[in-house]
Amino acid sequence: CLPKIMFLMKPSVFIFLFTCVFQLSHPWSVNNFLMTGPKAYLIYSSSVAAGAQSGIEECKYQFAWDRWNCPERALQLSSHGGLRSANRETAFVHAISSAGVMYTLTRNCSLGDFDSCGCDDSRNGQLGGQGWLWGGCSDNVGFGEAISKQFVDALETGQDARAAMNLHNNEAGRKAVRGTMKRACKCHGVSGSCTTQTCWLQLPEFREVGAHLKEKYHAALKVDLLQGAGNSAAGRGAIADTFRAISTRELVHLEDSPDYCLENKTLGLLGTEGRECLRRGRALGRWERRSCRRLCGDCGLAVEERRAETVTSCNCKFHWCCAVRCEQCRRRVTKFFCSRAERPRGSAAPGLGLKP
């Protein structure tokens, strides 16, 4: 049982510890939850935890067929874990976590889970565009944004480039939630003639926020700040200026990513050996179809085919009255895994190892 994500706020305000556990047989779960402090924060903390978890689940979904697949080790958001990476993947983890927290708080608010908050009707009655007025119940993203900022951004206590990077990416995550909101409208007029419409903004599926941030991940900008800019006032000014010049819609990183093909115990990376990849069957997207090449081939590994049989109920028939009888169908499934190419000992590849 290891603490993974720790939100540690200023003790004078409140303390909020969020620990989770990775169990081998299950996806990781939030399992332990401790907090003390003023009531206001207690009200939101379970939502914040649920939001952080949904961010992590989305990370695992979006990176399921990537060399880096959002491993547990990457999920330490706080600086208390010692080594802090500052690469493209770190940027994504921060963005998706803060987006998840904002998203869940906003959704909770719309569902009436909090007494203190409800729909955003601040623009209701105003003209929104041609032929439509603001009306109805817009999701209150302003609320979600503000509370998410208080919880997630408070993790960054430093003033160095890494802290600035994390704050920037937290903000990019929140921008992604706002930027993917959808307008929904209702028609008014004689028998639904739609002479006027009232419209409101609603959250998309969180999957869409994840997909949006995955695109931002591929386009992440690298800034060169680790050398030089020290902890002096001038250095901090340079850091602030650099980040101010970059749109908060974009993800930013400071370091290059390590080679995720390879196992690296220091960095807690497993490498791609043994990973499953997808080849045929099902309706695969382009990214999935190329997963064997990306995970195995390009990493110098072979693709190993493993056949297995699954038994399922099938050809079920309804018998009067009232039973359902099924047959047991065996189905062959083929799965693909990356494995170290094996060459029988002593047999060198042609053209190699020939001694004169």
Ligand X SMILES: *[C@@H]1O[C@H](CO)[C@@H](O)[C@H](O)[C@H]1NC(C)=O
Q: Which is nearer to ligand X, 264 or 334 (CB)?
A: 264
C-alpha 80/C-alpha 97 separation (Å) is: 17
**Region from 30-38, 169-177, 193-201, 264-272 binding ligand X, contact rule CB under 6 A:** 264-272
Binding mask 128-167 for ligand X (x = CB under 6 A): ----------------------------------------
Q: Which is nearer to ligand X, 49 or 77 (CB)?
A: 49
Residue of 113, 153, 276, 288 interacting with ligand X (CB under 6 A) = 113
Q: How many helices (H) and strands (E) does the chain have?
A: 8, 11
Q: Which is nearer to ligand X, 38 or 281 (CB)?
A: 38
Residue 272 near ligand X by CB under 6 A: no
**Region from 58-66, 174-182, 213-221, 258-266 binding ligand X, contact rule CB under 6 A:** 258-266
Binding mask 22-61 for ligand X (x = CB under 6 A): ------------------------xx--x-----------
How far is CA 249 from each of CA 1, 115, 141, 238, 252, rounded to the nearest angstrom? Answer: 36, 31, 16, 20, 10
- Crossing angle of helices 161-179 and 233-244, rounded to 10°: 20
Q: Which residue is nearest to ligand X (CB)?
A: 113
The single-letter code of the amino acid at 132 is W
Residue 267 near ligand X by CB under 6 A: yes
Neighbours of 298 (CB within 10 A): 13
C-alpha 55/C-alpha 182 separation (Å) is: 20
Residue 262 near ligand X by CB under 6 A: yes
How far is CA 295 from each of CA 60, 67, 167, 276, rounded to the nearest angstrom? Answer: 16, 6, 31, 8
Residue of 264, 312, 313, 334 interacting with ligand X (CB under 6 A) = 264
- Residue 159 C-beta: closest distance to ligand X, Å: 25
- Residue 37 C-beta: closest distance to ligand X, Å: 16
- Residue 82 C-beta: closest distance to ligand X, Å: 14
- Residue 255 C-beta: closest distance to ligand X, Å: 9
Neighbours of 136 (CB within 10 A): 16
Residue of 90, 108, 169, 272 interacting with ligand X (CB under 6 A) = 108
| Measured CA angle at 245 (ends 243, 248), to 5 deg | 65
Contacts of 67 (CB under 8 A, 6+ apart): 260, 261, 272, 294, 295, 299
Residue 270 near ligand X by CB under 6 A: no
Rounded to the nearest 5 percent, the helix, strand and coil shares of the chain are: 35, 20, 40
Total residues contacting ligand X by CB under 6 A comes to 11
Q: What 8-state DSSP symbol labels residue 250? A: S
Neighbours of 96 (CB within 10 A): 32
How far is CA 83 from each of CA 254, 271, 317, rounded to the nearest angstrom? Answer: 14, 19, 59
Q: Which is nearer to ligand X, 167 or 209 (CB)?
A: 209
Element (H, E) at 32: strand 29-36
Residues 76-105 that bind ligand X (CB under 6 A): 104
Binding mask 202-241 for ligand X (x = CB under 6 A): ----------------------------------------
Could you list the residues that contact ligand X (CB under 6 A)?
A: 46-47, 50, 104, 108, 113, 258, 262, 264, 266-267
